[in-house]
Amino acid sequence: EFNNSKERLEVALIENVQRKDLNPVEEAEAYDRMAKEFGLTQKEIAEKVSKSREVVANAVRLLNLPKDIRDALRADKLSRAHAKALLSFSDEAKQREVYNQILAGGISSKDAEGIASAAKSKKNQVKKDNKFSTLEKNLSETLEAPVLIHASEKGGKIVVKFATLEDLNKI
């Protein structure tokens, strides 16, 4: 009898996940519950719900976001793409900074991924490129806005990010 009710719960969870109206957080919570309650791997879950393992893994990663950001995702104030981009940031302070810019309509998910990518590549740059990180930091502090410097063989460009019209006016 217990095994039968456990199977019914698993089937109910699978059917629930396959509904189209689930928000990303509900989907992630269902995958997480399947893993914890039934000891399923992400690959097994993916097979049961007819999705790729990567889709399941990316969904479950959303549960690592701070609660208020998860709540915004649940309430459809934040897109799945934006949330996934926020996961690219290793520290919560940076996640929150970019999250606030997203809410203000200032940056797309691609922009957020670009900022995260630039932050990661900055960490991996050799010392000779430190002149750019110092310049970026100084410009960011002066302008009170995120600044990226992209150098190329033929010069480069400076990108100044802003989230609101008020931020732009300050710049």
**Separation between Cα atoms, residue 152 and residue 167, nearest integer Å:** 28
Kindly report the three-state secondary structure assignment for every residue of the chain.
CHHHHHHHHHHHHHHHHCCCCCCHHHHHHHHHHHHHHHCCCHHHHHHHCCCCHHHHHHHHHHHHCCHHHHHHHHCCCCCHHHHHHHCCCCCHHHHHHHHHHHHCCCCCHHHHHHHHHHHHHHHHCCHHHHHHHHHHHHHHHHHCCCEEEEEECCEEEEEECCCCHHHHHHC
Higher pLDDT, 4 or 80: 80
As a whole number, the mean pLDDT across the chain is 82
Q: Quote the tokens at residue 130.
A: 């430190």
User: Where does the pLDDT of residue 121 fall: very low under 50, low under 70, confident under 90, or very high at 90 and above?
Assistant: low
Q: What is the pLDDT, as a whole number, of residue 9?
A: 72
Q: What are phi and psi of 134, to 5 degrees?
A: -65, -45
127: pLDDT confidence band, cut at 50, 70 and 90? very low
Tell me the torsion sign for CA atoms 85, 86, 87, 89: positive
CB 30 within 8 A of CB 13: yes
Q: Which pLDDT does position 162 carry in this prediction?
A: 79
**Residue that wins the pLDDT comparison between 153 and 84:** 84
109 burial class (0-12, 13-18, 19+ CB within 10 angstroms)? middle
For residues 65 and 95, is the Cβ–Cβ distance under 8 A?
yes
Rounded to two decimals, the pTM is 0.61
Highest mean pLDDT: which range of 15-29, 85-99, 112-126, 130-144: 85-99
More confident residue, 149 or 28: 28
Residue 152 has pLDDT above 80, yes or no: no
Checking if the pLDDT of 1 tops 60, the result is no
Mean pLDDT calculated for residue range 69-90:
90
- Which of 50-54, 112-116, 139-143 holds the top average pLDDT? 50-54
Q: Is the pLDDT of residue 161 over 90?
A: no
